[in-house]
C-alpha cells in the first residue's frame, strides 16, 4: 500500500503509467491481472498439494507461465524448435513439460555442505545439470513438477531456497564473493545481505513489484553495481567511516541505463531499511501499465536522482540521508580468478568453468576437494566463476590440481576467463540462437588459434553471448558483446548469428558498447571474427591499455 502522504490520490490521467501511488489499482495488463487474481507466493501450496501429484497437464496456465516464477520455476524450451520460430509460436507450443529451476544464492555464499547438496539434487533430479549464472544463482534443467516437493525438502534442509529466485520480486542479492576476507575491502556487506533476506524475501508486501528487482551489496566494486535496480557499494565517509554509497536505476536489456548515485551515505545497519524504502518507492510509483517500461530505471530516468531521493526520504524513511562521497572505481574488471591472499593469511582460489557450465557431479567433487584442502566455504561469482575460500598455503597446489582435473582452471587463458553466456536456445523459450555450446567451441578455438599472442594479453578480453535481445549475459558491458539474432549469410540464407557491440565496460570504462549497425556475424563465422578483433586490438594497443579504450 502507498503510505498516507496526506495528498489525495490523483485522478486517473489519460494513458497514465499505472502507478499505484497515483491511484491506478486496477490491473492494466495480463501480468498485473494475474498477480492481483492470486498472490504469486500462494502457488507453492498448489505445487505441493496438487500439481506434484497430478502432473504437468494439471497445471493452471496462469500458474505455469506466471506464478511459478516466484519459486524459481520456468518451463524450458521444447527441444528441436529452431530460433527462427521463437517469435512465431504460441507460448504453449514452446513449453516443454520440464522446468528450469533457479536456486538463489544470496551473495554467492555457500558452505561446502550446501554445494554438495546442490550437486546431489542435480544428480538425482536435474540430469546432472547445474549452471552458475552471472547473478550468482545455480540453474538446474530437466526438473519434473512431480519432483519439486523432494527438491525443496533437500534444498531447504540445507538452508537453501528458490523463493523469489524469479518473478516480479526482490531477486537474489549480489554480493562480493570475497566479502569479509579481501584485503582491500572497504566494508563487509554480508550482514546487510543476510538481514534483507531474512526480513524481506517472501514478505507479501514486496512480492508484487511492477517487475523484477535486482540488488547488489558489496564492500568492493565487484558486482556490476552500475547496472542494478539498487546497489550499495562500499565507501569511506570522511567523518563517519566505512559505509555504502547508494545507486538506483541501472539495468540492461533493450533500454540499457547506468544507475544514478543518490549521493547518500548509508551505514551498514541502515542498509536493510533504506533498501526497503527504495523497493517501496518502486512498488508504489513504478510503472505498471507496460511491461516494457516497468523496471525502476524508467522511473529514475523520468524523475532524476534528486527527486527519487526526496521521495525516498520524505515519504518512506521519514528522515534525511547523510550526503556521502562516490566509491572508487576499479581500473579493470575484478573476477577473483586465480590464487589470492586473504587478510587472515590464508588464500582464496578462483576457478573458471566455461560460461558457468558445470554439473552436479562436478559440484559435489568441488565440495569434496575444497574440504580436503581445509575449506568449508565456496562462492559463486557474478562472472559465472567459482571461488574456494580459506585455503591454507600448503593446500593450494593440491586444490588447483583437483580443480583442473574437473576442467576448472585457476590460471585460465584470457579467452576462457572472459567468456560469459546466457542460457540460450538449449533451454530458454525466448532464445533465437545457441550460446553455451557456442561459448565452449569459441574458447577451445581461441585457445588453439591465439596461443601465439596469449602471453601478451595482460587483461582478460570479455566476450559475452546472449541468445536474444534481452541481456542476461550483460552484452552491453563486454569488450565484445554478441546479441543473438537470425542473420543472412553469404548465400542469402537465414541462419543463427549475432549483432556485435564493441567496447562496453564497467568500472572506469562504465558505458555500453557501440552497436555497430552493419556488424553482424553468423555463428559459423564467430571464431574468425573474434580472432580478428582480438588480433587487431593486441597489435594496435599501447602497453596496459584496456580493450574499451
Binding site for ligand SF4 (CB under 6 A): 422-424, 428, 430-431, 466-468, 470, 472
Shortest distance (Å) from residue 549 CB to ligand SF4:
27
Q: What is the b/e burial string over 290-321, where b = at least 16 CB atoms within 10 angstroms of the residue's CB?
A: eeebbbbbbbbeebebeebbebbbebbbeeeb
Q: Which helix (H) or strand (E) holds 264?
A: strand 260-266
Per DSSP, the three-state class of 530 is helix
Shortest distance (Å) from residue 52 CB to ligand SF4:
26
Shortest distance (Å) from residue 329 CB to ligand SF4:
26
Shortest distance (Å) from residue 393 CB to ligand SF4:
40
Per the listing, cell 496526506 goes with 6
User: What DSSP string describes 203-216?
Assistant: -GGGSS-SS-EEEE
Shortest distance (Å) from residue 432 CB to ligand SF4:
7
Shortest distance (Å) from residue 435 CB to ligand SF4:
6
Q: Which helix (H) or strand (E) holds 114?
A: helix 112-125
Whose Cβ is closer to ligand SF4: residue 367's or residue 428's?
428
Whose Cβ is closer to ligand SF4: residue 201's or residue 420's?
420
Contact between 162 and 205 (Cβ < 8 Å): no
Shortest distance (Å) from residue 62 CB to ligand SF4:
21
Which parts of 296-359 fold into alpha helices (H)? 296-303, 305-311
Shortest distance (Å) from residue 530 CB to ligand SF4:
19
Q: How far apart are CA 216 and CA 223, in angstroms?
A: 7
Shortest distance (Å) from residue 485 CB to ligand SF4:
11
Shortest distance (Å) from residue 132 CB to ligand SF4:
14
List of residues 6+ apart from 88 with CB closer than 8 A: none
Shortest distance (Å) from residue 289 CB to ligand SF4:
22
Contact between 96 and 80 (Cβ < 8 Å): no
Q: How far apart are CA 235 and CA 220, in angstroms?
A: 9
Whose Cβ is closer to ligand SF4: residue 118's or residue 431's?
431
Burial of 536 (0-12, 13-18, 19+ CB in 10 A): exposed
Q: How far apart are CA 143 and CA 115, in angstroms?
A: 18
Shortest distance (Å) from residue 397 CB to ligand SF4:
37
Of 105, 79, 109, the residue nearest 94 (C-alpha): 79
Whose Cβ is closer to ligand SF4: residue 121's or residue 428's?
428
Question: Any idea how long the chain is?
Answer: 549
Q: How far apart are CA 273 and CA 266, in angstroms?
A: 10
Q: For strand 463-466 and strand 419-421, is the pairing parallel, antiparallel, or unpaired? A: parallel
Q: How far apart are CA 352 and CA 336, in angstroms?
A: 10
Whose Cβ is closer to ligand SF4: residue 119's or residue 481's?
481
First vs last C-alpha separation in the chain = 47
Q: How far apart are CA 461 and CA 535, in angstroms?
A: 11
Whose Cβ is closer to ligand SF4: residue 135's or residue 416's?
135
Shortest distance (Å) from residue 422 CB to ligand SF4:
3
Whose Cβ is closer to ligand SF4: residue 77's or residue 283's?
77
Contact between 268 and 233 (Cβ < 8 Å): no
Per the listing, cell 568492493 goes with 220
Whose Cβ is closer to ligand SF4: residue 139's or residue 413's?
139
Whose Cβ is closer to ligand SF4: residue 261's or residue 474's?
474
Q: How far apart are CA 432 and CA 420, in angstroms?
A: 17
Whose Cβ is closer to ligand SF4: residue 309's or residue 464's?
464
Shortest distance (Å) from residue 507 CB to ligand SF4:
23
Whose Cβ is closer to ligand SF4: residue 219's or residue 424's?
424
Q: How far apart are CA 166 and CA 136, in angstroms?
A: 13
Whose Cβ is closer to ligand SF4: residue 189's or residue 356's?
356
Whose Cβ is closer to ligand SF4: residue 135's or residue 417's?
135
Q: Which helix (H) or strand (E) holds 243?
A: strand 241-248
Angle between helical axes of 112-125 and 360-372 (0-180°, round to 10): 160
Q: Give the CB-nearest residue to ligand SF4.
A: 467
Q: For strand 377-380 and strand 386-391, is the pairing parallel, antiparallel, or unpaired? A: antiparallel
Whose Cβ is closer to ligand SF4: residue 460's or residue 467's?
467
What does the block give as the cell for 546?
Answer: 584496456
Contact between 339 and 98 (Cβ < 8 Å): no
Amino acid at each position: 500500500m502507498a503510505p498516507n502522504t496526506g495528498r489525495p490520490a490523483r485522478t486517473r490521467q489519460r494513458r497514465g503509467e499505472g502507478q499505484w501511488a497515483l491511484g491506478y489499482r486496477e490491473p492494466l495488463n495480463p501480468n498485473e491481472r494475474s498477480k492481483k487474481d492470486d498472490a504469486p507466493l500462494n502457488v507453492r501450496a498448489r505445487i505441493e498439494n496438487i500439481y506434484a501429484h497430478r502432473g504437468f497437464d494439471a497445471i493452471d496456465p496462469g500458474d505455469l507461465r506466471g506464478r511459478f516464477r516466484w519459486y524459481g520455476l520456468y518451463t524450458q524450451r521444447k527441444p528441436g524448435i529452431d530460433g527462427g520460430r521463437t517469435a512465431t509460436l504460441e507460448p504453449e507450443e514452446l513449453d516443454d513439460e520440464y522446468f528450469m529451476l533457479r536456486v538463489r544464492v544470496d551473495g554467492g555464499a555457500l558452505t561446502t555442505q550446501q554445494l554438495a547438496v546442490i550437486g546431489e539434487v542435480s544428480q538425482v533430479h536435474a540430469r546432472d545439470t547445474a549452471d552458475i549464472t552471472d547473478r550468482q544463482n545455480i540453474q538446474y534443467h530437466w526438473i519434473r513438477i512431480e519432483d519439486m516437493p523432494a527438491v525443496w525438502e533437500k534444498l531447504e534442509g540445507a538452508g537453501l531456497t528458490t523463493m523469489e529466485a524469479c518473478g516480479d520480486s526482490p531477486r537474489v542479492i549480489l554480493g562480493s564473493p570475497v566479502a569479509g576476507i579481501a584485503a582491500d575491502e572497504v566494508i563487509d556487506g554480508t550482514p546487510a545481505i543476510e538481514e534483507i533476506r531474512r526480513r524481506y524475501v517472501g514478505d507479501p508486501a514486496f512480492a508484487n513489484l511492477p517487475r523484477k528487482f535486482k540488488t547488489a551489496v558489496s564492500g568492493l566494486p565487484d558486482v556490476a553495481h552500475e547496472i542494478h535496480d539498487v546497489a550499495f557499494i562500499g565507501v569511506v565517509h570522511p567523518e563517519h567511516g566505512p559505509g555504502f554509497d547508494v545507486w538506483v536505476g541501472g539495468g540492461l536489456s533493450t533500454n540499457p541505463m547506468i544507475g544514478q548515485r543518490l549521493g547518500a551515505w548509508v551505514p551498514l545497519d541502515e542498509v536493510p531499511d533504506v533498501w526497503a524504502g527504495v523497493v517501496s518507492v518502486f512498488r508504489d510509483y513504478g510503472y505498471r501499465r507496460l511491461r516494457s517500461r516497468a523496471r525502476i530505471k524508467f522511473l529514475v530516468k523520468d524523475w532524476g536522482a534528486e527527486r527519487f531521493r526526496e521521495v525516498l526520504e520524505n515519504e518512506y524513511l521519514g528522515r534525511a540521508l547523510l550526503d556521502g562521497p562516490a566509491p572508487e572505481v576499479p581500473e579493470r574488471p575484478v573476477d577473483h580468478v586465480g590464487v589470492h591472499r586473504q587478510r587472515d593469511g590464508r588464500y582464496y582460489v578462483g576457478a573458471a568453468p566455461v560460461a558457468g557450465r558445470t554439473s552436479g557431479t562436478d559440484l559435489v567433487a568441488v565440495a569434496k576437494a575444497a574440504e580436503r584442502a581445509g575449506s568449508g566455504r565456496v562462492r559463486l561469482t557474478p562472472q559465472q566463476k567459482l571461488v574456494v575460500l580459506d585455503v591454507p598455503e600448503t593446500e593450494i597446489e593440491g586444490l588447483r590440481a583437483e580443480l583442473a582435473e574437473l576442467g576448472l582452471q585457476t590460471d585460465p587463458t584470457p579467452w576462457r576467463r572472459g567468456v560469459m553466456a546466457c542460457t540460450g536456445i538449449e533451454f530458454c523459450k525466448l532464445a533465437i540462437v545457441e550460446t553455451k555450446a557456442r561459448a565452449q567451441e569459441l574458447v577451445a578455438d581461441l585457445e588453439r588459434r591465439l596461443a601465439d599472442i596469449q602471453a601478451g594479453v595482460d587483461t582478460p578480453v570479455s566476450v559475452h553471448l546472449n541468445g536474444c535481445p534481452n541481456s542476461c549475459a550483460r552484452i552491453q558491458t563486454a569488450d565484445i558483446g554478441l546479441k543473438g539474432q537470425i542473420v543472412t549469410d553469404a548465400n542469402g540464407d537465414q541462419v543463427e548469428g549475432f549483432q556485435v557491440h564493441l567496447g562496453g565496460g564497467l568500472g572506469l570504462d562504465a558505458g555500453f558498447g557501440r552497436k555497430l549497425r552493419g556488424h553482424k556475424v553468423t555463428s559459423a563465422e564467430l571464431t574468425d571474427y573474434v580472432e580478428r578483433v582480438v588480433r587487431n586490438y593486441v597489435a594496435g594497443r599501447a602497453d596496459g591499455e584496456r580493450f574499451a579504450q
